[in-house]
């Protein structure tokens, strides 16, 4: 009996030895060595990707500097001329070639950076630069002008399939005169895929009930405060709105904590070109709608939120720094998204 027991033990030991050599699950892995090598194997040329990342980030300091430089009433002929000088000088510094386009009541500024695909229709970004009398218009609309100058800085030398166009409109406060003059040159609209128009993107309020909503507009509030950005678009060009509905990300290499700094976005698709909702026709996107060109209005909702609308108190100190920076970044993100895609921007009928 003892012999059989010893024999069985010898067999089991032999199996264990053979198995430990031939079965990979029994291999002794040098796990400590792998752990020690992990930091060394992590790609260290990160500075390059960080440069790309920072190149896509708006600069709060630059945004606020533009608003400070434009801290004056921009109502009279002379004042609007001074404003044009500032804008064209900044564009020229950034390598753009701005053109002045005169119309009977004022002067628009236009510049473009040609895309790599001539068959792709252009994307235009626009904002008015004039003010009402007695208001320095920090939010209305130095904020929009500042974001446009940041877009000019960030995207001026960035190749994209679509052409990027910039339009600074005069005499918006006099009845959308600059944008109406712009779209009256219908030949230029043939190769225009869509427009992003900004009008007041720098004010936020954080007390309950500070945000109002227009009557007759079926809006589901996303906040009881005025801490979100609104994007208004026509239902015939929903892909333009979709560019703002995507996760409002900073570039993919950015940290999550940076992403969280972006305000929420409320997108409003408007049917019948706003005929039933005239409150949605109060800015320079409207003339594009009536020429059949897709356009969105990006806004902090103006007098539905800010008490400084068209007032002498619309000064740089009232700009909410964090909200403004986030709003600018969202516009930059959406602009890049649209410039890099060749998709049709008209709403497609259901199949």
Q: How many residues does this entry show for the chain? A: 351
- 37 vs 201 pLDDT, higher one: 201
Task: Decide if pLDDT at 252 tops 90.
Answer: no
Domains in the chain and their CATH numbers?
Answer: 53-339 (3.40.630.10)
Q: What is the mean pLDDT of residues 130-156?
A: 98
Sheet with 228-234: list strands edge to edge: 99-103, 106-113, 164-169, 122-128, 192-198, 295-299, 228-234, 264-270
Reported as a pLDDT band with limits 50, 70 and 90, residue 9 is very low
Per residue in 103-116, pLDDT tens? 999 999 999 999 99
Task: Decide if pLDDT at 278 tops 50.
Answer: yes
What are the beta bridge partners of residue 298? 198, 231
Burial class (CB in 10 A: 0-12, 13-18, 19+), 109: buried
Task: Decide if pLDDT at 158 tops 60.
Answer: yes
Which of left, alpha, beta for 26 (phi over 0: left; psi -120 to 50: alpha)? alpha
Mean pLDDT rounded to a whole number for the chain: 85
C-alpha–C-alpha distance, residues 85 and 347, integer Å? 39
C-alpha–C-alpha distance, residues 228 and 266, integer Å? 7
Task: Decide if pLDDT at 268 tops 80.
Answer: yes
Q: What is the DSSP letter of 308?
A: T
Q: Are 216 and 323 contacting, i.e. CB atoms less than 8 angstroms apart? A: no
Reported as a pLDDT band with limits 50, 70 and 90, residue 214 is confident
């Amino acid at each position: 009996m003892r012999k059989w027991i010893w024999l069985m033990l010898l067999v089991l030991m032999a199996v264990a030895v053979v198995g430990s050599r031939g079965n990979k699950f029994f291999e002794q892995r040098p796990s400590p060595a792998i752990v020690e090598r992990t930091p060394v194997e992590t790609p260290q040329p990160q500075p390059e990707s960080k440069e790309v990342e920072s190149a896509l980030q708006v600069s709060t300091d630059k945004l606020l500097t533009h608003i400070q430089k434009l801290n004056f009433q921009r109502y009279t002929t002379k004042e609007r001329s001074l404003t044009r000088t500032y804008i064209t000088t900044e564009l020229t510094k950034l390598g753009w070639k701005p053109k002045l386009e005169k119309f009977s009541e004022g002067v628009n500024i236009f510049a473009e950076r040609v895309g790599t695909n001539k068959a792709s229709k252009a994307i235009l970004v626009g904002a008015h630069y004039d003010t009402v009398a007695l208001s320095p218009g920090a939010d209305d609309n130095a904020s929009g002008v500042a974001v446009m100058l940041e877009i000019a800085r960030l995207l001026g030398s960035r190749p994209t399939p679509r052409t990027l166009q910039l339009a600074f409109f005069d005499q918006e406060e006099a009845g959308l005169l600059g944008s109406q003059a712009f779209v009256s040159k219908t030949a230029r609209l043939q190769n225009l895929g869509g427009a992003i128009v900004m009008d007041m993107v720098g004010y936020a309020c954080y007390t309950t009930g500070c945000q109002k909503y227009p009557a007759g507009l079926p809006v589901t509030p996303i906040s009881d405060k005025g801490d979100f950005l609104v994007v208004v678009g026509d239902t015939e060009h929903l892909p333009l709105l979709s560019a703002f509905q995507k996760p409002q990300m900073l570039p993919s290499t950015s940290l999550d904590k940076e992403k969280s700094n972006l305000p929420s976005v409320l997108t409003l698709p408007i049917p019948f070109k706003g005929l039933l909702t005239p409150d949605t026709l109060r800015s320079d996107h409207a003339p594009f709608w009536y020429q059949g060109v897709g356009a969105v209005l990006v806004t902090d909702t103006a007098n539905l939120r800010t008490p400084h609308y068209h007032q002498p108190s619309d000064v740089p100190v009232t700009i909410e720094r964090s909200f403004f920076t986030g709003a600018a970044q969202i516009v930059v993100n959406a602009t890049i998204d649209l410039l890099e895609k060749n998709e049709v921007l008209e709403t497609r009928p259901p199949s």
